[in-house]
Structure 1
Amino acid sequence: MSRFPTLLVLLTLSVAACDRARAQAPPASAGDQATPLRTAGDRPVDVRHIKLDLAVDLKGRRIVGTATLELTTLRPLSVIRLDAVNHQIDRVRGTRGTAKTGELRFENTDRELFVHLPGAAAAGENWRVEVDYSITQPITGLHFFGPSKQVPDQPLMAWSHGEPISNRYWFPSQDHPAERQSSEIIATVPAGMECLSNGRLLSREKQPDGKVKFHWKQEKPHVSYLVTLVVGKFSVTRRKWRDRPVLFYVPPDRAADTERTFGRTVEMLDFFSERFGIEYPWEKYAQVVVDQFTAGGMENTSATTLYRGVMHDDRAILDSTPDRLIAHELGHQWWGDLVTCRDWSHLWLNEGFATYSEVLWYEHKLGRDEADYLLYSKSGSGRSGGTLTRPIVDRRYPSPRNMFDSRAYPKAGWVLHMLRHRVGDDAFFRALKRWGTVYSYQVAETSDLRKIFERLLGHSLERFFYDWTERPAHPVLTVSSRYDADRKQVRVEVTQDQDGEPFALPLTVSFAVPGRSEPVRLDLAVTEKRQLVFVPVAARPTLVRVDPEFSLLAEVKEKKVRGWWVAQLKNAPRVPERLRAVAHFAPSRKTADRKLLVETLAGDTFYGVRLAAAAALGRVADDLSREALLAALQQKNPRVRSAAAAALGSFSKNAAVVKVLETAWADGDPSYKVEAAVLRSLARIRTLPLKTLEEALARDSHREAIRTAALGALRRRQEPRSVEILLEWTGPDRPRRCRIAAIAALGERVIRVATPPAVAAKVIKRLTDLLRSAGPRIRAAALQAMRRMGGSAKAAEKVVASLAEHDPEGRVRTAARDALKALQKEKTASAELDRLRGELDSLQKRNRDLADRLKKLEAK
């Protein structure tokens, strides 16, 4: 007997045994703890009023003063707990009813303040608790800005941002959406400064030392995260709406753009008051534009805070409108402020309604096509990200910030759109009025909304709310339509292809039939994974429309003959239908299909469809597409010109395209976005002189469109100078959008371009330094760059790990955890390689032992 087959069998058995042992072993723990279950906490006290009397020291980045909380005990207790992070507490005083109790004993843990009452309080007692405190440079919640060595021209300013749980960083409170109270801020600020807060301005008094004391009072109850304080130099424009002040606070250098940006606010107040059936509920409406705001906008009660990007000059208005953001935040004054989600699991009741307010305003002001186009964009984002794995109403989340994703915004907006279609326009807005009336100045949860609709309208909506708020993902439908000439009928098959159980949904399919003025309509209740229907028609339909009213959030795949697709592209009346037809023809390389897209780019009546056709032709990048895109550069609509310029970036090293784009860059364009798209495409298809990119970095533009295009182009450059430029643009003296773009480009460049170790180390050091930045968006951007760099940035592992545990911003902690996984991947891979080497060594030793045993057996 030969020994080699025996050894092979033994070796195979050995490997199989190792594999079986590995397969039977429990999976290695990832080290992550289960996400905690979140429910609303107890309310042992009812906070009725919060009064803050503060001296604001802008230069010292400090507030000093007294927080007075008026509250009622809801049960017997001896200790009152307040959220108060890093407060310096000097003393606490109490008043029981009308009797002062003097100073109260307290414990300050740097996260919470525990106030000990003198003897147990009975349920129903009224207390006033006064906390003398100070805070210097809060970690978050209240943000201070001013001149520094790096940014000597930064204006002095302070603004708060409390959502979701950041106001506890600058005043003691019950910092949870279930707690509503009236509020009052008395703020003493430096001379020459404006001060804005919630409610009515009761007084503005000059003090003996030249400072000014502002007294604002919010009479009606709201939640603590909506309390706001803004101090700075502003140009203030005053309007009136039904005898209530309407105020616009903007940076002095943008005063000329105030009317262009905010000029439709009064009309919006009229529209939403009528549409919602509830008059605007607060004492005034102010909008204030601040530097370096951490969000697009924040709907503080009666006083919305907005980022600088909302301001539109005469060129920016060609590319976009501020109305979407302004309508969103104004909609919140009803949905989020008047009626507030009971806890963060029900955040969609705030954000979904505000998101849908955008759509309602577009319908009213801009027309159905613009509203449909907005819904179409939200349909894509509403079927991505967190929506795929988590439900809208979700009680498991690491921190409240994690709930602010595509579930709470676009998907939630779409849920309301579907609900409106389900019950009808009149019924929907009647129920909306009832919702806002019943829960005015209260908190509510999802079941409350469902019950309002059910009781008023008589609909059973339990399955609707289950499908759309309690389970993740969305329907994935395949709709197959085929005409049978012999039977004069259309065979329609609908399948639900998503994992898990079917959704229950209404689906409409309509058929344009020759000789009929009205289409044949199929209204199908889809409840199964597969349903088959035969629709009688008098003749072959000329157009088949699936979901013609665009009322379903679903991924819809259609199977039908080419002629019906052509008819949809050319003749469908709704924008989303034509966009779906563009998407159908986009992957095709057939000349006839490309000609259809060329015709669409040249002639569709809505610019959004032309944009989609331009993008599709850019992906094909042939001669036919090139000529159509070059021609589109001359279209009147700047958004189409921008899309055409972007699509031309696919024509690498094409001399004709390069020449046209070079001319377009040299000539300029009224639109910032067109110029940015031209520059971005030029950088893709040829190596631009570095001087050109440096010149682009000197150009101002709306939301830094041109500079960010130039910084993005630098990620592909070989010259060492490109790294130096990017490092310069990460500095605190540069606009935040540019800093973020430069940070991203640095991370990409280290991966894309061969980078000397010393240069890579310099990049990593800068990114690590940026992790200590005061701005959460800068920290998050640096972490995202490190995540892309992976193991090459492992020198920053300790700092990243610390942020993953301790950063006050939820978005930063999430970015840090993602970065940490990437940084440790190389270490994990190395450990896995060591393990495999050890297994191989062990296997080889076992096989040597087996060979020795076999040799001895053969010797016998």
Structure 2
Amino acid sequence: MKKRILWLSSAFIISSLTYAQVMTPPPSYNENQTNKLDIYRAEAERINNLVHTKLDLKFDYAKEHVLGEAWVTLKPHFYATNKVTLDAKAMLISEVALVNGATKKKLNYKYDDLQLVIDLDKEYKKDQEYTLYIKYTARPNEVKQEGSLAINDAKGVYFINAKGERPNYPTQIWTQGETESSSCWFPTIDKTNQKTSQEITLTYPDKYVSLSNGTMKSSKKNSDGTKTDYWKFDKKHAPYLFFFGIGDYAVINDKWKNINVDYYVEPEYKDVAKQIFGNTPEMIQFFSDKLNYPYPWDKYAQMTAREYVSGAMENTTASLFHDGVQQKAGQLVDENTAEYVIAHELFHHWFGDLVTAESWGNLTVNESFANYSEYLWFEYKYGKEKADEHRYNEMFGYKQGDGPTKNLVRVHYNSREDMFDGVSYNKGGIILHMLRNFLGDDAFFKGLNKYLKDNEYGKAESAQLRLALEEVSGRDLNWFFNQWYYENGHPKLTVVSDYSSAKKKVKVVVRQDASKLFEFPFAIDIVENGKTTRQQVWVPKQAETVFEFASNQKPDVVIPNADQVLLADIDDKKPVEDFIAQYKAGKGNYTTRLLAIEAMANAQATNPKAADALINALDDSFDGLRIYAIHKLDTKSKTIVDKASSKLKQLASNDPKTLVQAAALSALNDANIYDATIFEKASKSPSFSVQGASLTGILKNNPSKINDLTTNLDNEVIKGSPDLAMALVPTWIKNNQLDKAALISESAAMYEFVKFQDPEKGKIAEQAFNWIMNNDTPDATAEIAKTYSRYYPYLKEQNPQASQAIKMMAEKALQVKTNATKTIKSATIAKQVEQLQDAINKMK
């Protein structure tokens, strides 16, 4: 009986305790901690869930305001609530009401310029929907939050040349929601773990066109010179993916199956739009097949934007790109430099839009896949060596700066903007390639399919990716995720090999930096008499591991990381003669041959065999390595130039790739070798890069031809050839050709760095800087201000001394431009001063 009473008492106590829940987050989640790195960056708590968002937007171009009405439908996630908090930054709130059929009931609210806290009319229970009506004015220029290196501003909506004060410059409005900037133009719960359908009505001047998520259901012209477009998106996506864009665009129509694929470009580029974006339908098919998951949305459009604050953005069904993706035919002859980013934003429509990172700390489940899609597309379309070239460059980008000190998945960071770096993107993509190599293609891509289907139209984190891959493959992957996702860095290896003729064995010693040990599969090639044998081994978590392999004679070369899959720093201790053998053995392997070319180049001054092998590499089967070998030639060495000049002339004249021709012409310029026949023929090439390199050489040897050669020259030829631009600057300054100022803006902005590299060119760059700042040069000054804003935050972390040099140049620019306002009276020069001041204000 006693036991029964005690049990009942305990049950009563436990039952009572279940009602005494702690409803606040733990102290470690508190965002008001002094040291921001102490904050645990958890997934956002879901008290209410978005269900549907309806917006009616009009625009005040003069004030750069958005005049909005929002109908936001929500429901409690689990617990009953009588309040809702919406993100709404720098808005004027005119009305907040509960919608009940055709009637509205005013609600009480508090607003602090960041969040709108609304008292509901009653307590709502789980899954009980309610709709709020909010009338507001969005004022993007009043937004206080700042951007980052990757997304350099964060005011959500951007009016470009809104008053039309800049002649021959487009007027546009476009939005950028990532990270949490959609709440700068409509009230919402601006978190990655929210999903909502949407409707947007846009009223704007009739001379423009619009784009938004989903499908345009109607477009109506109004009597006041405006028109109203109605866009509807029925599926669910995160608020940061909401988008609209308005401006003067040519719309080029394409198709994938029965889905519209449209390209919005400035009218000047309408004839080449399909050369820029035209691979998109093939990409959609390729990615749909690769993932065994058809493209999940009702359309796909791509739009360009002036003064865009990032590279591109995967707004669902309506990706936005910086205007640099717009290229002319003479540039596209060389290559479509936008192709990788077009693939990147498209692949986000599975990884990021369909399945969204549950928190910014897990951003890599969005960005690593988009990054890796670039490799997948190049591999499919152009072959493995093109893909490996791209991957090698991505790896180099990750290793710069402090990337190796950061975890891939991070729950501690200063700002969510810090997640947009070479770790989330580059390293993430690189280790996905490692995972693919470990699991095999079949298991890897079936695992991705499972991850997508398990989490479609929802959210996910890295653990769910691991579980999906494990479920498909049957292999435990904790060893991989623990060291590559939840730890930082990469292996730092020293590899030495030796051959014992007595044992007839090759000994390969792999030493790891003991400060951080990894375990990993490792490919080692033993090349004997030109025949390669691959050894697959595991390197354990220990400072030194010794492997022995049978070999009948001393190998031609031992190649560590032979498949070039492992992300690592490898000090490969072997003589240059072995690297020459490695180059010969590396057929089909871009990185194996590149590392050999680098070793040969480093020895070219002292080792004739290395010099000869480097010159032979000018005939490499892959154009990217031909260019690399050209760039590695010491064009100041008479011995090297004498040996290489014939081959360089041949490449400049006849190589099937125009970028190789341009590189060879530039090398001839550096070596002071001028063949009038070759250079004058090249100056008539359809390729802008070839034109630029050839004209640089012609003007260097015949300065008097400057007017004849440049009178009708396309500006993009000059922009693509810094050496040519430098040659033309003195003439521009002499003739005060201010329409050319923007062509030299980046070199002018960074004149101190140009001086460091080449004092003579630095002197010209400084003259250009003073010329631009002393005159009314809106485009050039805007570009210079953007250059400072783009580079300063990166250099502040990686090279503080260089960042101070940027700040000094920006302050000098502001001083000179301010003085210029005393003598120049124009509507735009004050704006130029403001742009420079804004750039300096961001240098904190």
Question: 2:283 & 2:182 partners in 1: Cα distance?
Answer: 29
Report 1:725-740 matches (<5 A).
Answer: 734=742, 739-740=745-746
Residue of 59, 81, 87 corresponding to 1:83: 87
Question: 2:482 & 2:42 partners in 1: Cα distance?
Answer: 19
Q: CA shift at 1:748, angstroms?
A: 5.0
Aligned to 1:592: 609
The answer to whether 1:347 aligns with 2:363 is yes
Aligned to 2:133: 130
Question: 1:471 & 1:712 partners in 2: Cα distance?
Answer: 46
Aligned to 1:365: 381
Q: CA shift at 1:122, angstroms?
A: 4.5
Question: 1:682 & 1:410 partners in 2: Cα distance?
Answer: 40
| Number of aligned positions between the proteins | 759
Query: What's the secondary structure of 1:315's corresponding residue?
Result: helix
Question: 1:338 & 1:548 partners in 2: Cα distance?
Answer: 36
Query: What's the secondary structure of 2:220's corresponding residue?
Result: strand
8 Å contact 1:514–1:540 — kept in the other structure?
no
Q: CA shift at 1:742, angstroms?
A: 3.3
8 Å contact 2:50–2:196 — kept in the other structure?
yes
Aligned to 1:637: 657
Question: 1:402 & 1:704 partners in 2: Cα distance?
Answer: 35
Residue of 403, 416, 422 corresponding to 2:432: 416
Report 1:476-491 matches (<5 A).
Answer: 476-491=492-507
8 Å contact 1:649–1:681 — kept in the other structure?
yes
**Structure 1 pair 759–680 and aligned structure 2 pair: CA distance change class (3 A):** closer
Aligned to 2:568: 554
Deviations 1:555-589 (A, max 9, x none): 22222354432222123221211111001111112
Q: CA shift at 1:702, angstroms?
A: 4.7
Aligned to 2:789: 780
Residue of 228, 247, 252 corresponding to 1:237: 252
Q: CA shift at 1:706, angstroms?
A: 3.5
Question: 2:781 & 2:649 partners in 1: Cα distance?
Answer: 46
Aligned to 2:206: 191
Report 1:572-721 matches (<5 A).
Answer: 572-573=586-587, 574-588=589-603, 589=605, 590-601=607-618, 603-618=619-634, 621-625=637-641, 627=645, 628-634=647-653, 635-648=655-668, 650-651=670-671, 654=672, 657=673, 663=679, 667-677=683-693, 692=706, 699-700=713-714, 702=716, 705-706=719-720, 708-711=722-725
8 Å contact 2:733–2:768 — kept in the other structure?
no
Query: What's the secondary structure of 1:382's corresponding residue?
Result: helix
List gaps (5 residues or longer) in structure 2. Answer: 1-33, 144-154, 796-801, 816-835
Q: CA shift at 1:187, angstroms?
A: 1.0
Report 1:201-240 matches (<5 A).
Answer: 201-240=216-255
Query: What's the secondary structure of 1:565's corresponding residue?
Result: helix
Report 1:196-595 matches (<5 A).
Answer: 196-321=211-336, 322-497=338-513, 500-514=515-529, 519=533, 521-573=535-587, 574-588=589-603, 589=605, 590-595=607-612
Question: 1:768 & 1:42 partners in 2: Cα distance?
Answer: 49
Question: 1:104 & 1:448 partners in 2: Cα distance?
Answer: 40
Amino acid at match of 2:488: P
The answer to whether 1:62 aligns with 2:68 is no
Q: CA shift at 1:212, angstroms?
A: 2.0
8 Å contact 1:700–1:707 — kept in the other structure?
no
Q: CA shift at 1:276, angstroms?
A: 0.7
Question: 2:474 & 2:838 partners in 1: Cα distance?
Answer: 43
Q: CA shift at 1:597, angstroms?
A: 0.6
8 Å contact 1:49–1:71 — kept in the other structure?
yes
**Structure 1 pair 581–490 and aligned structure 2 pair: CA distance change class (3 A):** same
Question: 1:496 & 1:392 partners in 2: Cα distance?
Answer: 21
8 Å contact 1:83–1:173 — kept in the other structure?
yes
Q: CA shift at 1:297, angstroms?
A: 1.8
221-230 or 691-700, which deviates more: 691-700
Deviations 1:303-353 (A, max 9, x none): 111233323433212222232221111111111111111111111111110
8 Å contact 1:747–1:789 — kept in the other structure?
no
Amino acid at match of 2:786: R
Query: What's the secondary structure of 1:548's corresponding residue?
Result: coil
Aligned to 1:809: none
TM-score by length of 2: 0.81
Deviations 1:755-781 (A, max 9, x none): 9x9999998899999999699835505
Aligned to 1:111: 114
8 Å contact 1:339–1:439 — kept in the other structure?
yes
The structure with more radius of gyration: 1
Deviations 1:279-318 (A, max 9, x none): 1000111112233323332111011112333234332122
Question: 2:66 & 2:592 partners in 1: Cα distance?
Answer: 56
**Structure 1 pair 84–662 and aligned structure 2 pair: CA distance change class (3 A):** farther
Amino acid at match of 2:105: G
Amino acid at match of 2:119: H
**Structure 1 pair 782–408 and aligned structure 2 pair: CA distance change class (3 A):** closer
8 Å contact 1:236–1:248 — kept in the other structure?
yes
Question: 1:687 & 1:454 partners in 2: Cα distance?
Answer: 65
C-alpha RMSD of the superposition: 3.9
Question: 2:417 & 2:837 partners in 1: Cα distance?
Answer: 10
Question: 1:758 & 1:587 partners in 2: Cα distance?
Answer: 36
Question: 2:630 & 2:118 partners in 1: Cα distance?
Answer: 64
8 Å contact 1:711–1:726 — kept in the other structure?
no
Deviations 1:203-254 (A, max 9, x none): 2223343432211111111011111101122222223323222222222221
436-445 or 380-389, which deviates more: 380-389
Query: What's the secondary structure of 1:470's corresponding residue?
Result: coil
Question: 1:243 & 1:608 partners in 2: Cα distance?
Answer: 38
Aligned to 1:93: 97
**Structure 1 pair 171–604 and aligned structure 2 pair: CA distance change class (3 A):** same
Aligned to 1:742: 748
8 Å contact 1:227–1:300 — kept in the other structure?
yes
8 Å contact 1:726–1:746 — kept in the other structure?
no
Question: 1:109 & 1:511 partners in 2: Cα distance?
Answer: 68
Q: CA shift at 1:428, angstroms?
A: 0.3
The answer to whether 1:52 aligns with 2:68 is no
Query: What's the secondary structure of 1:385's corresponding residue?
Result: coil
Query: What's the secondary structure of 2:720's corresponding residue?
Result: helix
**Structure 1 pair 713–465 and aligned structure 2 pair: CA distance change class (3 A):** farther
Question: 2:517 & 2:841 partners in 1: Cα distance?
Answer: 35
Question: 1:682 & 1:128 partners in 2: Cα distance?
Answer: 70
Q: CA shift at 1:149, angstroms?
A: 7.1
**Structure 1 pair 791–365 and aligned structure 2 pair: CA distance change class (3 A):** closer
Question: 1:423 & 1:514 partners in 2: Cα distance?
Answer: 32
